[in-house]
A and B are shown apart, each in its own frame.
Chain A
Amino acid sequence: MRRRNILKLIVLVLAVAAAVALSIPKLSNPTSGIPLGLDLRGGVHLVLQAQPGANGKPITKDDMDKAKAIIAKRVNELGVSEPVVQADYQKDRIIVDLAGIKDPNKAVEVLKTTAQLTIRDPKGKILMQGDQIKDARANQDPQYGYVVSLTFTPAGGQEFAAITKEYLQQRIGIYLDNRLLTDPKVDSVISNGQAVITGYSTLQDAANDAVLMRSGALPVSMTIAEKQQVGASLGVDSLHRSISAGIYGLAFIFLFMLVFYRLPGVVADFSLIVYALIVLWVLWLFHAVLTLEGIAGFILSIGMAVDFNIIIYERVKEEIRLGKSLRAAVESGFSRAFITVIDAHVTTLITAVTLYVLGTGTIQGFALTLGIGILASLFTAITFTRTILRWVVGINPQTNTRWYGVRREA
């Protein structure tokens, strides 16, 4: 039994060491690891608020979709690896997160300008403005496949008739700002204000262009309601500082547990490593973006995770003092402390959930790490710590209780 326990412990320690060694490069990989927030690698966070027009027309969901499509298109041109563009339909907002962008100033500049749809001649000279397009829809045509059907305003129809006459059999370009969306060849003079652009390979392609063509300019004017901009090197600084805060915090907690709880302290420290691994992998699984606040929540949760061990160990110590054997003390300590642990930590969990539901952005990141941290520490304490402590006690049940931090006074 003793030999088996020693063997099991050795295997476990090796397994955890291997897990740590394998996890660190995987989780910290810049592309496939835990994504870092813009405060840790520089970037821009923008909340664009749609403003109702001067005529008091309410903002529709379609308006927001158009605006989002246009902004997403521009964001993609900025060449950011994982841009986030979300629409908040209730509050008429568009949220843009550009982490890791090189030139945040330029990005803001590009995003805030109102998009201009133009029709241009082969040399790029502007022939007409996109606001003359009344509607643009993606269709499937039995003859031409996937197409975009354009409907012009009456004035636009006349203008377009003139253009198609002049540029017959040439290519005219449809531009969004300065980017070419498509350059169809004019097959015939179109005078009825109804044009069809052919040659799309999928309906999705046609729909993407259609939304941009019918939107023309941003359908609503947007103001920047919230902006957070962090320079790249500042982000790196913050990341390094956070990591060193984490390492020092962890080291001192390790030391503290070791001094006060001796052998179980070692078990607690070991469990903490497993705990940290679980939290990081769960974050990775959720694609949670790690922010400064998230790291602070993580470090705090390490401090709190030890609490499970402290409650249990203090209980075990009490049981030892009452004269129980080590084995019995560990067993009853765990089962008695369990209720306490649950009651105590449900309250913190309530906080984390409330924050997550009602909070925004950075606060949510904090709430997520805190909540995952509590659940993970509960899991580690009742499975991992308990098992290891059993094995350790199983190796030598007659171990001096001094190894368990029970001091004898004269």
Chain B
Amino acid sequence: MGRKDVDRRKGKVDPSNGAGEGNGPEARNDLKETGGRPEVSAVSVEITKGGQPGQTDASKVQAGPKGRSQGNGSPIPAAQGASYAQVQKMHPLYFNIVKKRYIWFALSLLVIIPGVISLFTQGLNLGIDFQGGTMLDVIFNKPTTQGAITRTMSSVGLSGSVQLSNGSKEVLIRTQALDEQTRNKLMTALQSKVGAYDSGKLQEEKVSPEIGKELTQNALLALGIAMGLMLLYITIRFQFSYAISGIIALVHDVLVTLGVFSLFHWQIDATFVAAILTIFGYSINDTVVIFDRIRENEAKMRRGDSYEDMVDKSVWQTMRRSINTVVTVLIALFSVYILGGASTKVFALAMLIGVFSGAYSSIFNASQILVEIKTRLSDSPKGKPSRARA
């Protein structure tokens, strides 16, 4: 283990432990791994041992990991990175993620298949943004009933869905795209037959069917373009087999999100499109970090090394990052979902599902698909796949 990184100039900072050095003694204490309070005498012993204080400290800093790697049998040169055994030992919950890959695939299919069936049979619950229509969110001063609203609507020749919330005071009406005259007739009728409402809290949205159609077309176009660009980018930066694996994981996440929304018949709006596209970008981002590590480790592979093990090691090396990143994004999304305004609820919900699925597919699917591709293509230039697997 090299000491090349020790900086002597900085090392001789303070034999006397000057200002604000709570860290100093504690650092040394840690080196000794005694776990107790720092002892001044121990410090001085350390210093006298080494020629230079800095060097002593630095060499002792390395003591921990060095000891561990020796425990595993062989000290590893720094350039080689941590060994597979080291990586396994570092994670208390370690299990072979790559070997169990068929379980993960099955788990994914368990969610995706019902979702896809639902997509084909009942489709998505498209909101007015896609189909055109008028949506009115009215808050009445007194609680009302579903019947009162429906009767009022039919009195002006309208029908549609009515949803009550907020102690039956808030009414969400969805109906066909209304022209201004009909809309005003409805508002007057609501006022006279149901009761006064808070005009300061009135929310209204109208989308004509033509604009709805445009949104749908643009959404599909955007999805196609984004997918093409990402395939291109990953192929350039990695290899085509990586790109395919990444895209499969991506399609997985989009299908999970669409499927869940279809299964539960949650209504989607324009922000859902933004969510799906963001999931697109974000899920591949997660995957790329793992792929980046696989790429790095693949270059260091020696003859006889198992591709499966290398991938398993890479996944575990990036595990903390994969989890922590998702946690921070989920924190952000949860706060938007719980506290944010009504119009960002659908967005946040779709993102929550997509990001969760993205984390799952990055850790449990993408690299495993890559292993499948690599082990089946024996003539891969760098892969040197293990033929042990049938």
Contact = CB atoms under 8 A, between A and B. Distances in A.
Nearest to A393: B10
Which of B62, B76, B201, B237 has its CB near the most chain A CB atoms (within 10 A)? B201
A323 interface: yes
Contact of B201 (A233, A359, A409): A233
A260 B321 CA distance: 11
User: What's the dominant secondary structure at chain B's contact region?
Assistant: helix
User: What's the dominant secondary structure at chain A's contact region?
Assistant: helix
Interface residues of A, number: 96
B30 A306 contact: no
A302 interface: yes
B57 A245 contact: no
Interface in B1-44: 1-2, 4-7, 9-11, 13, 20-21, 23-24, 26-30, 33
B215 A360 contact: yes
Contact of B320 (A304, A314, A326, A355): A314
Interface stretch (B116-124, B277-285, B367-375, B380-388): B277-285
Contact of B27 (A304, A307, A345, A399): A399
A334 to B, nearest CB: 14
Given A233-B200, A322-B82, A300 B336 contact: yes
Given A344-B285, A398-B57, A408-B30, A321 B90 contact: yes
Contact of A310 (B57, B81, B324): B324
Interface in B184-218: 198-208, 210-211, 215, 218
A317 B65 CA distance: 11
Which of B222, B237, B324 has its CB near the most chain A CB atoms (within 10 A)? B324
B331 A256 contact: yes
A223 interface: yes
B96 interface: no
Which of A224, A296, A349 has its CB near the most chain B CB atoms (within 10 A)? A296
A296 B336 contact: yes
B237 A399 contact: no
Contact of B328 (A306, A323, A396): A306
B107 interface: no
Interface stretch (A69-77, A137-145, A246-254, A276-284): A246-254
A408 B341 CA distance: 44
A398 to B, nearest CB: 4
A117 to B, nearest CB: 22
B202 A234 contact: yes
B226 A354 contact: yes
Given A343-B237, A366-B274, A2 B333 contact: no
Contact of B10 (A109, A256, A327): A327
A343 B206 contact: no
Interface stretch (B98-106, B303-311, B343-351): B343-351
Given A246-B335, A300-B278, A350 B226 contact: yes
B158 interface: no
Interface in A1-34: 1-2, 6
Which of A300, A328, A399, A409 has its CB near the most chain B CB atoms (within 10 A)? A300
B109 interface: no
B335 A359 contact: no
Interface string B163-199: 0000000000000000110000000000000000011
| CB-based closest 10 A-B pairs | A351-B281, A303-B332, A328-B5, A249-B335, A233-B200, A245-B339, A348-B281, A238-B341, A303-B329, A229-B204
Interface of B: 1-2, 4-7, 9-11, 13, 20-21, 23-24, 26-30, 33, 54, 57-58, 61-62, 64-66, 68, 76, 78, 81-82, 90, 179-180, 198-208, 210-211, 215, 218, 221-222, 225-226, 229-230, 233-234, 237, 270-271, 273-274, 277-278, 280-282, 284-286, 288-289, 292-293, 317-318, 320-321, 324-325, 327-336, 338-344, 347-348, 351
